[in-house]
Structure 1
């Protein structure tokens, strides 16, 4: 039997509608993301992934609907330090070292230099702590951005295509870190357009043209579409949508 008082979702989106540039980008979407999980947000470019992410972190003006994070409206002052956002482009200062970048963000949240170094260690950048950010590789910049986000010890971590352009080894290492964070109780929402990353998630949100065409576990998504892999499942859903529209 299900528990009498199930835990509230870490993120709840209810009938969200967003318009940008006179065009409806998200059309009445709803979902609930459980705490301590990794949810993949997948879909082609222009499908609405980044707009949804911006709505969840509170930087996107919405037309209607609600977005609640950790029990508070998205973007609320009380969520500062509880929600971290890693953008697709590394949000670090190129003229500062890795250590100085993370220490700066630590100071914004009242964290110590020791905590800054712990965040650097957690993403495997200890050996590069003194290196200028401008001289880092793409994967190292992503790790440094992740350390800047982790230093506030967030409960919710939102990542917008963090593995784009990275080689398979670095992608593997980053996803292992994401799984470790979820195991420690963090809630992660990770956007991607790479279908082979989908199986690493606990749950998937598949977005197409501003709508969710699936909100399910990888296993249930494969089973419901009779597909051997998630790419085939996604294509099956698209064809069904086109057939019925």
Structure 2
């Protein structure tokens, strides 16, 4: 195992940021921590990269204990925090040279590892980091996290606030890095990015809700979800929540996702109920289940 997390907890005074969290990441795996802001993702990253000490439990990265072997971990991992943290008054090339020097290496020594990423920002190598676009800052930060050829890469919400094209390019870069044998632990609040991970852990309020491959999580979900739409969406949400046998109602794109308590649910009865509530242009059909649906239910 590349990363082993066993029963770790961390509190900030009265607030429990993470509560008895356990999971493992295998060598060469791309593992995702999926959850909203405040779920505990960043706290887990900071513990695993030795920036915080857990109140309870233990964890190891590449065989090194996060409490006892922090120097070895810092030399063998790459960490890209959620907030851009490079030197904004240094140029692209100066930032990269600086981080290479800290780890006792050079850009040339590990250029093969960052080449695919660096060629995209090389035209701006003399531009100050603070003047780069969001996508370019992201690529520079990834280059700096990789410049010492780490065995494990930690990426804390790397695509937050980045345009859709840059997000797609970034995940393509991660897939190429994985093919080079690097273990990657990435966190994201974007549910659509879950399908790009080998396995994911759904986390909320500091607790792990479920761990499995995205495919298995969807396949093993037993409830049937319906897409419901009418002319008046606002009234539809209210009326569905007042339907006697409703289990769950929430907005999902252009539809409302509806789950009924009964396994023998008949949409005819629901349609009549909505007609009696003066709804028109009623559409009720089975929905394609997503990770977001499973997360909402959990």
Judge same fold: TM > 0.5, yes or no: yes
How far did 1:127 drift? 1.7
Query: What residue number does 2:126 align with?
Result: 130
| 1:112 maps onto 2:110 in alignment | no
**Consecutive aligned runs of 4 or more in structure 1 exceeding 4 Å deviation:** 116-120
- Per the alignment, residue 5 of structure 1 pairs with none
The CA distance in 2 between the partners of 1:67 and 1:200, in whole Å, is 25
Q: Larger relative CO (CA 8 A, sep 6+): 1 or 2?
A: 1
CA-CA distance at 1:21 after TM superposition: 2.6
Matched, 1:25 2:21: no
Q: How does 1:1-245 map to 2 (within 5 A)?
A: 9-74=1-66, 76-115=70-109, 121-123=115-117, 124-226=120-222, 228-236=289-297, 238=298
How far apart, CA to CA, are the structure 1 residues paired with 2:134 and 2:293? 30
Give the TM-score taking structure 2 as reference length: 0.74
State which structure, 1 or 2, has the greater radius of gyration over its C-alpha atoms.
2
Deviations 1:6-61 (A, max 9, x none): xxx10000011111132221111111111101111111111111111111111112
Number of residue-to-residue matches in the alignment? 229
Q: TM-score, normalised by structure 1?
A: 0.89
The answer to whether the Cα contact below 8 Å between 2:29 and 2:184 also exists between their aligned partners in 1 is: yes
Does structure 1 conserve the Cα–Cα contact (< 8 Å) formed by 2:47 and 2:53? Answer: yes
Question: What is the root-mean-square deviation of aligned Cα atoms in Å?
Answer: 1.5
Q: Tell me the SS of whatever aligns to 1:154.
A: coil
CA distance in structure 2 between the aligned counterparts of 1:120 and 1:94, rounded to whole angstroms = 20
Are the aligned partners of 1:99 and 1:117 in contact in 2 as well (CA < 8 Å)? no
Mark the runs of 5 or more structure 2 residues left unpaired by the alignment. 223-287
2:6 & 2:40 partners in 1: Cα distance? 16
The DSSP-based 3-state class of the residue aligned with 1:125 is helix
SS of match in other structure, 1:176? helix
Q: Structure 1: which 5+ residue stretches go unaligned?
A: 1-8, 239-245
